[in-house]
Amino acid sequence: MTVVTRFAPSPSGNLHVGGARTALYCWAFARGREGRLVLRIEDTDRKRSSEASSLGFMTDLDWLGIDWDEGPVRGDQGGGDHGPYFQSERLAIYAEHLDRLVAEGKAYHAFDTSEELDAKRKAARQAKEAYRYDRAALALTAEEVAAKLAAGEPSVIRFRTPDAAITIVDEVLGEATLPAGEVDDFVIRKADGYPTYHFAVVIDDAMMGVSHVLRAQEHFNNTAKHIILQDALGLPRPVYGHLSLIFNPDGSKMSKRDKDKVLRTAVKERAIEGPPADPLGAPMVEADVWATWLGDKSVQLDLETLERVAAALDVSLPEINVADFRRSGYLPEVLCNFLALNGWSAGDDLEKFDNTFLAERFHLDRVQKTPAKFDRDKLLAFNLDAIQEMSPDVFHDLASAHAAEFRPEFLERLDQGQFRILCDASRERSKTLDEPFLVNGFLVSADDEIEWAVTKPVRKAMFKGEPTGLELLAQIRPVLEAIPSFDAVSIETAITAFVEAHADGNLGRIAQPLRIAVSGGPISPPIYDTLAILGHAAVSSRIDRCLAVLSELAPSK
């Protein structure tokens, strides 16, 4: 038997790390068994699905190195004999099977209005009973049904659930039996003509030859519906494995809500009054929406708005989606390694491995039933290790690609030589590909944007000592100005000579004032590199401004 797994995202958002882990397990299970991975886009919810989201999923999978054998065509992958791979393009296939079920009396048209159904649900609630569809539609004669259909009355198709217990066998969670009557006559085709998830998934898994369904645990209960549909349609049953959710260390579900929470907390802590304004001066969020969001933890802002507000307030949001981790500068192979460990173990306490190893070793036996806890510190440590193991060339190439996508201002402002110096100076202490840019924003600021606050380290470096840091700074300015070729080695030679002559050979006495002058703060890459990256003109101009600003604030002697 050929192993066929599938990853079947609904394109209504972004690829969450939980979804990425499902995709990775599906990929590894197929790859390790000479099987195939199918990518199927489950876009039958017309209101929520979007093409941008489908593309986003594929981009994220590509980035993670999860390639598919069958599915939407992208580059040299995809295609296949079982397409189309977008469910919205498979309506004729579903219709054929729906008609068959209706003709066989295994499914029926129902014309109940949503008001009627709501009233029945409400009555069930009041009677403290579980609501089940009462099969009112079955009271109609075949003629009445035909007449209503001919008149174009809106209808759904419901599956006539057999009156029997249903047993789900799951390779990860074990067996569960639902007593007869638990599953009511559920809808398999919606009023808009589209199949429901349950119906489409069953048809497609069978048509696409799927042998193993690995998916999120939230679908475990749905499996009962899928099994009875398979039986009614005479379709084979794949092997099921349901994967636990990924949780935060505090036990909460890892989700977009975490971003809302971080932003809300920051807004409250900083006592920010209203929503920030966009560049045209309009509030980014309507005042009443903002107030509701701030006061009610269950209310969320949409992702785009949330990110704009966070950027405006300089709040960094926790990564949840694959795209977030990418933007934060994680390496795809590290994220895969880490995700693989969140819910599966290789045994022998082995923690570091690549996708090839995962494919060789992945087995459902070692998939954990209990939820995994996502340890961000550990992920960061993995990423740091991987960066430290890289050669300077590789780091430079990856950092350039990262900058091209997320930090273009660095490529615009620095020439190739300067960019290389930044990479070489940052590699050993960077935990992510983004860190060289994140912590060195001053390199791309306009010279007149640098600001100085008289903090403790600034006071010490600039105002203390004999001569003071400011005085040394004034003295070294013409020395730097006179360097003919402003590279790190020439700068080092000039500064070393200056330090011998004017600062008792103590480099720190001048390095720290220089650093503060050019960056605004006490932290930067090594000082010679920093100055070389900035270049002659910026260094002189920043020193001048610093001298002017801080001399005003210096305590009088």
Contacts with ligand GLU by CB under 6 A lie at 8-10, 42, 201, 215, 219
Measured from the CB atom, the residue of 194 and 419 that comes closer to ligand GLU is 194
Task: In angstroms, give the least distance from the CB of 224 to ligand GLU.
Answer: 13
Q: Are 285 and 411 in contact (CB under 8 A)?
A: no
Token readout for 311 is 């950027």
Measured from the CB atom, the residue of 217 and 345 that comes closer to ligand GLU is 217
Instruction: Return the amino acid letter for 257.
Output: R
Among candidate residues 406, 476, 473, 394, the one with its CA nearest the CA of residue 437: 406
Measured from the CB atom, the residue of 42 and 471 that comes closer to ligand GLU is 42
Task: In angstroms, give the least distance from the CB of 88 to ligand GLU.
Answer: 13
Measured from the CB atom, the residue of 243 and 421 that comes closer to ligand GLU is 243
Q: Are 346 and 376 in contact (CB under 8 A)?
A: no
Task: In angstroms, give the least distance from the CB of 54 to ligand GLU.
Answer: 12
Task: In angstroms, give the least distance from the CB of 106 to ligand GLU.
Answer: 22
Q: Are 188 and 215 in contact (CB under 8 A)?
A: no
Task: In angstroms, give the least distance from the CB of 225 to ligand GLU.
Answer: 11
Measured from the CB atom, the residue of 94 and 437 that comes closer to ligand GLU is 94
Among candidate residues 330, 319, 425, 437, the one with its CA nearest the CA of residue 384: 330
Q: Are 461 and 523 in contact (CB under 8 A)?
A: no
Token readout for 159 is 């599956």
Q: Which residue has its beta carbon closest to ligand GLU? A: 215
Measured from the CB atom, the residue of 9 and 275 that comes closer to ligand GLU is 9
Q: Are 106 and 158 in contact (CB under 8 A)?
A: no
Task: In angstroms, give the least distance from the CB of 219 to ligand GLU.
Answer: 5
Q: Are 181 and 154 in contact (CB under 8 A)?
A: no
Residue 406: burial class (beta carbons within 10 Å; 0-12, 13-18, 19+): middle
Instruction: Return the amino acid letter for 129.
Output: E
Task: In angstroms, give the least distance from the CB of 52 to ligand GLU.
Answer: 16
Measured from the CB atom, the residue of 38 and 514 that comes closer to ligand GLU is 38
Measured from the CB atom, the residue of 16 and 326 that comes closer to ligand GLU is 16
Task: In angstroms, give the least distance from the CB of 283 to ligand GLU.
Answer: 34
Q: How far is CA 97 from CA 90, 181, 248, in A?
A: 11, 24, 42
Length of the chain: 557
How many C-beta atoms lie closer than 10 Å to residue 546's C-beta? Answer: 24
